[in-house]
Structure formats: C-alpha cells, structure tokens
C-alpha cells in the first residue's frame, strides 16, 4: 500500500501507523483528554464548522469538562489499559459516527484505525483536517495512535487490520457487517457489532398539549425523526400516542403541522421516495386492511394503524414514513420491542412508570430510554454495551 493507491485515501495520520503496534494507554489518559479538548476548541472556533449542527454537537461532546465528568464514572484507580489496536468500520448513513467511535476507542486506551464511508461528507472532511493539524503539531505523540482513511470494501488493508487488531468495532447494516465478519480476527480479539436497529417514540397527548411550548416539543420530535433522512438507528419509525381521543387528535394536528413547516426547505425527499412510500403502504394494507394512509406531502407520510406489529415495521421504507397508533397503556408497544428495537424516545411519561414497564415486560430490545429530542446524543454505553469496558482490559491483583 502506498500514497499512490487510488483505492485508499488517507484522511488523518500517517500510513506507517497502520503497520505499527503501539503500547496501550490507560483509560481516560490525560494526553487523550487534552487532545479531544483541543479538537473541541478548534472546531468551535472554526467558522467552517458552524453550518453543521452534528459537527457542533460533537465539538460540544468532546470538550474537556464533559470528558472529565465522564471519567468520574469510571474506576480510574484500578489498572485498565486499551486492548491494543481498535479497528473501526463506520457506516455511510451518519456522517460523524466515526468521530464518536474513534473518541470512545481513544478514551478506552486504544490506538485507532478508522475506515470511513466512501461517501463525501464535508463535515467529516473538515473534522479529519482539524485532527490532522493537531496531530502534526502539538500532539505529535498521538500521531501513531490515530489513522482515518477511506478504501474499497475489498481492499487488503481491511484484512490486515482485522488480523492485527485487539478489538474490531463494526457499525452498519446487517449485510455490510456480515461481509466484514468474513475477515478473520486474531484468537484473543473481541468484536463489537452495532447492526441495523430501529427506534420508537411515545408521547402523552395531554402532557404535550399542556406544555407551555408544544412548538418546541414538535421541533424536538423533528430533530429525532428526520436526522439522516430517518435512516439513523436512533430515528423513530413508529409513534405511539397515549391519552384520550380528543387530546390525541389535537396533539396530532399540532405536531404534524409543525413538522410539515420544518420540512418545507428539505430537498432530500424526492418523487421516487413518494412512490416507494405509497408502494409500501399498499403492501401494509394487503397484510392489514385496517391501516389508513395520511399524508399532506412527501415529507411526512403516516400509516395510521390500530396496532403495531413486526410485519408492518418490516415494510417501513424511511424518508419520512411513520407508523402511528394510539392507546391507553405502553403495552401496545410490546409486539415491536424485539432485539432490533434500540431507543425509546419519550415525552410526558414518568421515569418510574417506564422502569416498571420494562421490568415487567422484559423485552429483548430497548437499550436506551431518552427524552424527546435526545435520541442522537451519544453515550459511552451504546446498544447496551459499555464501550470503555469492552475496549479495555483490567489488571487484577490478588
């Protein structure tokens, strides 16, 4: 492999780092905390970053004060080191997923090799440029620990990194992950797999209407649902309303009118998406004649159904398609809380009620319960996996 390899694009770091075995850091290493904080400062001061809300969110997440607060929740007194090289394979639907995966690997004490999607995201390019600038100046000690690149799916570097890594972190669709899993790991390596998931939203209609600012709540729903064209695992595909019929009808009308206004300037929902959504509604109706289509535009196509089922979710096609129902209790969610259900976004339901529901139902899915508007907020516990623990090892003294 060389810099002339047209199938390989180096974005951050140096090519030679991919062949080096670097000693691990302790978890939450001071040098790593300083690097991520310096990156946060550069991004927040760079006017080129301001048009990208996801880049601003990452800069805010990796500021030093926040990371030191996260470190307090870890047992930093015991000896915990990274597992060596962490090889990250990141998806094509979320531009900055790679940044959070990389940060988690560094905080866990690992050297990181990160394969980005081949799609050209300007915010990803900008972030890699800022990291590279820091690594070639004040943080040269980390230069061999951070390598970001793009390459073809069949590039030999992927096999070499899989053989050498101590932990492989896979993000993406089921088929993409199956493809990478054909590359063998070393016997002691561990693998973290974050495959296709879906999320749901629950709103208490009475609480929604009595909120002093239901418009703000509607904006939060929009933020959760429409990120990455509704294709992110954290984006709700189904919406359950709780409450009385009159309240639900009023809340639905308010929410969807606001969503339509927020969608007016979007250019990513094309006529082909409209055709596909209606085609899939017809397939849903063939399975369940009780479903109804409700759509004022291509931006928000709602399938109103008396019940939520896995079969209906299998026919979901993204790009602003929602399954929507109403009920008196959370039990209506049970049929769709299988292992692929990731996040439950909520408004107006007490935490104690949610805890009791999950304790009683014991669903195979739901790894996150978050307030409305928070589904995309990254946590070091993701899909039920503690990333720091999973990517590090503990030294036991007896």
Any idea what the CATH number is for the domain that residue 277 is in?
Answer: 3.40.309.10
pLDDT > 80? residue 111: yes
Look up residue 376 and give its two tokens.
């995309």
For the chain, the average pLDDT equals 95
Domains identified in the chain, total number: 2
Reported as a pLDDT band with limits 50, 70 and 90, residue 165 is: very high
Strands 381-382 and 385-386: antiparallel
Q: Mind listing the pLDDT tens digit for each residue in 314-360?
A: 999 989 999 999 999 999 999 999 999 999 999 999 999 999 999 99
Q: What angle do CA 99, 88, 45 make, to 5 degrees?
A: 15
Considering the domain boundaries, does residue 96 fall inside one?
A: yes
Task: Give which of 368, 352, 330 is closest to 241, Cα–Cα.
Answer: 330
Q: Mind listing the pLDDT tens digit for each residue in 14-49?
A: 999 999 999 999 999 999 999 999 999 999 999 999
pLDDT > 70? residue 4: no
Q: Mind listing the pLDDT tens digit for each residue in 240-286?
A: 999 999 999 999 999 999 999 999 888 788 899 999 999 999 999 99
Strands 167-171 and 85-89: parallel
91 and 179 share a domain? yes
339 and 243 share a domain? yes
232 and 102 share a domain? no
Considering the domain boundaries, does residue 356 fall inside one?
A: yes
Considering the domain boundaries, does residue 1 fall inside one?
A: no
Concatenated DSSP letters of 353-383: HHHHHHHHH--S---EEEETT-TT---SEET
Q: List Cα–Cα distances, 161 to 22, 59, 83, 85, 88, in angstroms.
A: 14, 28, 14, 9, 10
3-state helix, strand and coil shares in percent for the chain, rounded to the nearest 5:
45, 20, 35
Considering the domain boundaries, does residue 377 fall inside one?
A: no
Rounded Cα distance, 378 and 173, in Å: 19
Considering the domain boundaries, does residue 328 fall inside one?
A: yes
165 and 241 share a domain? no
Q: Mind listing the pLDDT tens digit for each residue in 319-330?
A: 999 999 999 999
Q: Which domain holds residue 173?
A: 8-195+383-394
304 and 260 share a domain? yes
146: left (phi over 0), alpha (psi -120 to 50) or beta: beta
213 and 176 share a domain? no
Look up residue 245 and give its two tokens.
């019929």
Strands 341-347 and 198-204: parallel
H-state helical runs in 91-204:
97-107, 122-135, 156-164, 174-181
Question: Which DSSP category does 100 fall into?
Answer: H
Q: For the whole model, what pTM was predicted? A: 0.94
269 and 285 share a domain? yes
Considering the domain boundaries, does residue 211 fall inside one?
A: yes
pLDDT > 70? residue 2: no
> In this predicted structure, what is the pLDDT of residue 3?
46
277 and 191 share a domain? no
162 and 229 share a domain? no
Beta carbons of 86 and 127 less than 8 angstroms apart: no
Q: Mind listing the pLDDT tens digit for each residue in 112-145?
A: 999 999 999 999 999 999 999 999 999 999 999 9
Q: Mind listing the pLDDT tens digit for each residue in 73-97?
A: 887 678 999 999 999 999 998 999 9
Q: Label residues 36-49 b or e (16+ Cβ within 10 Å = b).
A: bbbbbebbeeeeeb
Q: Mind listing the pLDDT tens digit for each residue in 295-311?
A: 989 999 999 999 999 99
205 and 354 share a domain? yes
Rounded Cα distance, 107 and 61, in Å: 13
Q: Mind listing the pLDDT tens digit for each residue in 217-240?
A: 999 999 999 988 888 999 999 999
Task: Give which of 268, 328, 323 is closest to 294, Cα–Cα.
Answer: 323
Those residues with Cβ within 8 angstroms of residue 319's Cβ, 6 or more apart along the chain or in another chain: 229, 230, 231, 268, 269, 273, 276, 277
160 and 106 share a domain? yes
Look up residue 287 and give its two tokens.
């399975």
Considering the domain boundaries, does residue 129 fall inside one?
A: yes
Beta carbons of 114 and 102 less than 8 angstroms apart: yes
> In this predicted structure, what is the pLDDT of residue 5?
67
Considering the domain boundaries, does residue 64 fall inside one?
A: yes
> In this predicted structure, what is the pLDDT of residue 227?
82
Beta carbons of 185 and 223 less than 8 angstroms apart: no
């Amino acid at each position: 492999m060389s810099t002339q390899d047209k199938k390989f694009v180096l974005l951050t770091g140096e090519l030679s780092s991919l062949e080096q075995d670097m000693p691990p850091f302790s978890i939450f290493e001071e040098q790593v905390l300083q690097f991520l904080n310096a990156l946060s400062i550069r991004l927040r001061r760079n006017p080129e970053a301001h048009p990208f809300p996801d880049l601003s969110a990452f800069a805010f997440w990796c500021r030093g004060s926040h990371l030191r607060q996260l470190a307090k929740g870890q047992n930093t007194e015991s000896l915990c080191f990274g597992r060596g090289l962490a090889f990250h394979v990141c998806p094509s639907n979320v531009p900055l997923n790679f940044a959070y995966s990389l940060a988690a690997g560094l905080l866990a004490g690992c050297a990181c090799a990160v394969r980005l999607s081949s799609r050209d995201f300007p915010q990803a390019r900008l972030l890699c440029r800022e990291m590279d600038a820091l690594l070639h100046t004040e943080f040269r000690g980390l230069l061999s620990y951070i390598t970001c690149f793009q390459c073809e799916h069949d590039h030999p570097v992927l096999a070499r990194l899989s053989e050498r890594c101590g932990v492989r972190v896979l993000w993406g669709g089921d088929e993409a992950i199956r493809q990478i899993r054909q590359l063998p790991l070393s016997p002691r390596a561990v693998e973290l797999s974050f495959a296709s998931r879906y999320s749901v939203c629950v709103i208490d209609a009475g609480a929604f209407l009595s909120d002093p600012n239901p418009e703000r709540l509607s904006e939060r729903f929009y933020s959760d649902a429409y990120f990455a064209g509704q294709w992110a695992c954290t984006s709700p595909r189904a919406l359950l309303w709780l409450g009385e019929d009159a309240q639900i009808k009023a809340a639905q009308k308010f929410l969807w009118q606001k969503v339509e206004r927020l969608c007016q300037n979007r250019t990513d929902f094309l006529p082909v998406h409209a055709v596909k959504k209606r085609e899939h509604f017809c397939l849903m109706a063939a399975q369940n004649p009780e479903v109804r289509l409700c759509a004022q535009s291509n931006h928000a196509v709602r399938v109103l159904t008396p019940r939520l089922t896995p079969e209906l979710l299998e026919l979901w096609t993204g790009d602003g398609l929602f399954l929507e129902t109403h009920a008196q209790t959370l039990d209506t969610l049970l049929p769709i809380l299988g292992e692929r259900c990731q996040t439950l976004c909520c408004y107006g339901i007490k935490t104690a009620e949610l805890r009791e529901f999950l304790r009683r139902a014991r669903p195979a899915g739901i790894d996150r319960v978050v307030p409305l508007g928070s589904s995309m907020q990254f946590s070091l516990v993701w899909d039920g996996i503690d990333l720091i623990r999973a990517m590090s090892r503990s030294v036991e003294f007896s």
